[in-house]
């Protein structure tokens, strides 16, 4: 959310936490926050302040602080243990997005990450990466219905969608936050069309290139 202050609420019954005030190097975004132990501990402390625990920053990337404590939710007691999300690796190319690739089985993908969640969605996994995570999708019965029995067997339980906004990955030098004019030039896109109040997308003019 830009600016981040637009997510801050001002009301007598609201307590706001800026994640980086707790752990300066925890830059989890919308997807990763659902499996971020820092966020989880803040929530547990708010729900049960009488049994609140310190919030540990251990396990973040190496340049992060090794410890952190929130003292605003009542008496805290020491706690042990650490957490860590998988570090981004690999690159975006062809059928591959970092550690995962289209066609990979769900079991294989889950073994590659230390933390994951379905967010209550039966046919999706949200994998925790340092900074921003990766979301993958698997074919639902409705999606498989038009295919032949052999085709259904071939893709059932395998990744058919992989998404991320992690700045570690780029397509022809395009990262999240790249100016739209630069995106159109580098990805050889045609004329744009509106897909929402503030979003823009384009028709490809280079069908042979990665998409």
131-167 per-position pLDDT tens digit? 788 999 999 999 999 999 999 999 999 999 999 988 8
Question: Does residue 211 lie in a domain region?
Answer: no
Instruction: Identify which has the larger pLDDT, 24 or 163.
Output: 163
Of the listed ranges 19-23, 89-93, 200-204, the least confidently predicted one is: 200-204
Residues 76 and 91 in one domain: no
Residue 59 has pLDDT above 70, yes or no: no
Other residues' Cβ atoms within 10 Å of the Cβ of residue 22 = 19
Compute the C-alpha angle 85/88/90, nearest 5°. 145
- What is this structure's pTM? 0.55
Query: What are the angstrom distances between the C-alpha of 89 and each of 48, 92, 117, 166?
Result: 37, 10, 20, 11
pLDDT tens track for 66-125: 444 433 333 333 333 334 577 889 999 889 999 999 999 999 999 998 888 888 888 999
pLDDT at 210 over 70: no
Within-domain flag for 99: yes
In a domain, 189, yes or no: yes
In a domain, 40, yes or no: yes
Tell me which of 209 and 156 has the higher pLDDT. Answer: 156
Q: Which domain holds residue 192?
A: 175-206
184 CB-near residues (< 8 Å, 6+ apart) = 192, 202
Check whether residue 153 and residue 93 sit in a common domain: yes
Report how many domains make up the chain: 3
Q: Is the pLDDT of residue 197 over 60?
A: no
Average pLDDT along the chain: 77
Asked if 92 and 121 sit in the same domain, the reply is yes
In this structure, what are the phi and psi dihedrals at residue 114, rounded to the nearest 5 degrees? -80, -30
Q: For the chain, give the percent of residues with pLDDT over 70.
A: 75
pLDDT at 211 over 90: no
Residue finishing a domain among 37, 62, 83: 83
162 occurs within a structural domain = yes
Whether residue 89 sits in one domain with residue 155: yes
Question: For residue 29, is pLDDT > 70?
Answer: yes
């Amino acid at each position: 959310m830009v600016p981040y202050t637009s997510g801050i609420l001002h009301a007598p019954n609201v307590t706001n936490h800026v994640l980086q005030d707790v752990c300066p190097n925890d830059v989890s975004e919308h997807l990763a926050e659902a499996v971020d132990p820092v966020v989880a501990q803040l929530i547990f402390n708010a729900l049960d302040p009488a049994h609140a625990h310190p919030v540990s920053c251990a396990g973040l990337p190496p340049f992060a602080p090794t410890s952190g404590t929130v003292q605003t939710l009542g008496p805290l007691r020491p706690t042990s243990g650490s957490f860590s999300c998988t570090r981004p690796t690999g690159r975006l190319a062809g059928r591959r997005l970092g550690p995962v690739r289209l066609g990979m089985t769900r079991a294989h993908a889950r073994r590659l990450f230390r933390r994951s969640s379905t967010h209550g969605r039966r046919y999706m996994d949200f994998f925790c990466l340092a900074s921003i995570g990766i979301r993958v999708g698997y074919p639902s019965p409705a999606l498989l219905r038009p295919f032949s029995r052999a085709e259904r067997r071939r893709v059932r339980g395998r990744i058919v969608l992989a998404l991320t906004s992690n700045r570690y990955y780029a397509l022809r030098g395009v990262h999240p936050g790249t100016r739209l004019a630069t995106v159109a030039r580098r990805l050889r896109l045609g004329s744009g069309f509106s897909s929402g109040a503030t979003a823009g997308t384009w028709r490809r003019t280079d069908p042979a290139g990665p998409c």
